[in-house]
Amino acid sequence: MNDKPRLIIIEDDDALRERLIEITTYPPSAWIKDTAISGFVVDAVDNAQDGKDLIIKHSKEQPYEVILLDLKLPATREAANNEEKMDPEHGRSLLKYIRSYSDTAVVIFTAYPSEKNYIYAIQHGASDFMIKETMDRETEHILFLRLVKAAGVTREARYRAIRFERQINIMLEEKKKAHRVISKDISGNASEISQKARGALDLLKQRYGLDPDRDKGDPICDSLADIRRITGEMVQAIWRESEGEKEKSRFEEIDVNTIIRQEISRIRPCYLHHGVDLRVSPHDPPLSIKTIEPDLRNLIAELLCGALAACSENDVVEILASLSENKRDIVIRMTYPGAPPPKELMTTLREGVMPSGTLDERGRGLVFLWSVARNMGIRVDVKSKKQKNDITLLIPVID
């Protein structure tokens, strides 16, 4: 089994496309010493339609882990062969389709870094946005590392989805087993009680000529009739109670900081090669809340991936979780060194609008994090003081 991640390159420039195939299939050994990936299994096309067809073809078996997408593309192979005018709209439409159809990470690689293209890419789920420059060795190396990072995010997301699906299936199977046991119990008890009540009523009728329907008011007849009625009510009550207990059992008392540590240990390898390291504060107090464990775990993992996009190379990020004063939010504070982001950027984000103008890598990362959090209903704030930046995420307590 080939464990290399699969990559599709959608690029119309023939010479550049061949060079990209070469460096991603057989990267220099110096590039791969700090990564767990020794290269990609690569497909390449020169137009939007062929790219879309290949993504659909491989979606069921051996799906791509990362897509390297140029924006200004010919629409079809015929248009590429005839050298018809290319349009960035073809790349933008393909990105929108990919995000609605697939969970594969998309890295935009374009020579047209307009504000419109960048904002569109971030809003429609691009994992990274890189500007085509002179393809020297350093640029090629950076591009390779970003593709490795994107492939790692895709694999991690798919692993979490599989694990979450298994947890759901286990939970459903346990529910079915519980229902089978309860059904057997209820039917046995109810049948036994009902039979005894019916036998006693028949005995009264045969020996003493009493009929429950005719002799209402007789204490014995009424008592036995009540037993039969109560038996039916008992069955319904036990079913309702069992449903409620199963629903409650989904909620667990869990330590948020433990979940953060576990998710960091899984996500960490994807970012170490980029020089970013995550550390949980050694002074973390236990933070126990009662909530649905898979839901919170997936939420934290998504937010950690989003927050890491706001980090620069060689950042060491410290993470601390606590409960807000009103006990209604989990507060995750991520502290990293460096210059603060522009005030204009933070003002626009707090106002809930996309920023305009040129952004550096960290600024683009903050926009990406803000987009991820906004889609999940999470509030984000950034405060800076003395070369330290705090990203604060406020997660509503689920219960």
Q: Which of 209-223, 236-250, 286-300 has the lowest mean pLDDT?
A: 236-250
Three-state secondary structure of the chain: CCCCCEEEEECCCHHHHHHHHHHHHCCCHHHHCCCCCCCCEEEEECCHHHHHHHHHHCCCCCCCCEEEECCCECCCHHHHHCCCCCEHHHHHHHHHHHHHHCCCEEEEEECCCCHHHHHHHHHCCCCEEEECCCCCHHHHHHHHHHHHHHHHHHHHHHHHHHHHHHHHHHHHHHHHHHHHHHHHHHHHHHHHHHHHHHHHHHHHHHHHCCCCCCCCCCHHHHHHHHHHHHHHHHHHHHHHHHHHHHHHHCEEEEEHHHHHHHHHHHHHHHHHCCCCEEEECCCCCCCEEEEEHHHHHHHHHHHHHHHHCCCCCCCEEEEEEEECCCCCEEEEEEEEECCCCCHHHHHHHHCCCCCCCCCCHHHHHHHHHHHHHHHHCCEEEEEEECCEEEEEEEEECCC
> 70-126, pLDDT tens digit by residue?
988 888 888 767 666 677 788 888 888 888 777 888 999 988 777 788 888 887 888
Q: Which residue has the higher pLDDT, 260 or 96?
A: 96
Indicate the average pLDDT of the chain.
72
Q: Say what the pLDDT of residue 41 is.
A: 92
Mean pLDDT of 244-263: 64
Q: Which of 115-129, 178-192, 262-276, 292-306 has the lowest mean pLDDT?
A: 178-192
Q: Which residue has the higher pLDDT, 11 or 240?
A: 11
Q: Say what the pLDDT of residue 172 is.
A: 65
Confidence of residue 42 (pLDDT cuts 50, 70, 90): very high
Mean pLDDT of 55-84: 83
Q: Say what the pLDDT of residue 249 is.
A: 46
Q: Which residue has the higher pLDDT, 213 or 125?
A: 125
Q: Say what the pLDDT of residue 69 is.
A: 92
Mean pLDDT of 57-65: 85
66 pLDDT above the threshold of 90: yes
pTM: 0.47
Q: Say what the pLDDT of residue 20 is.
A: 93
> 321-370, pLDDT tens digit by residue?
777 776 667 777 777 666 666 677 767 666 666 666 666 666 766 776 77
Mean pLDDT of 120-140: 83
Q: What percentage of the chain has pLDDT greater than the value 70?
A: 50
Mean pLDDT of 28-40: 79
> 146-162, pLDDT tens digit by residue?
888 888 878 877 777 67
199 pLDDT above the threshold of 80: no
Q: Say what the pLDDT of residue 131 is.
A: 85
Q: Which residue has the higher pLDDT, 293 or 98?
A: 98
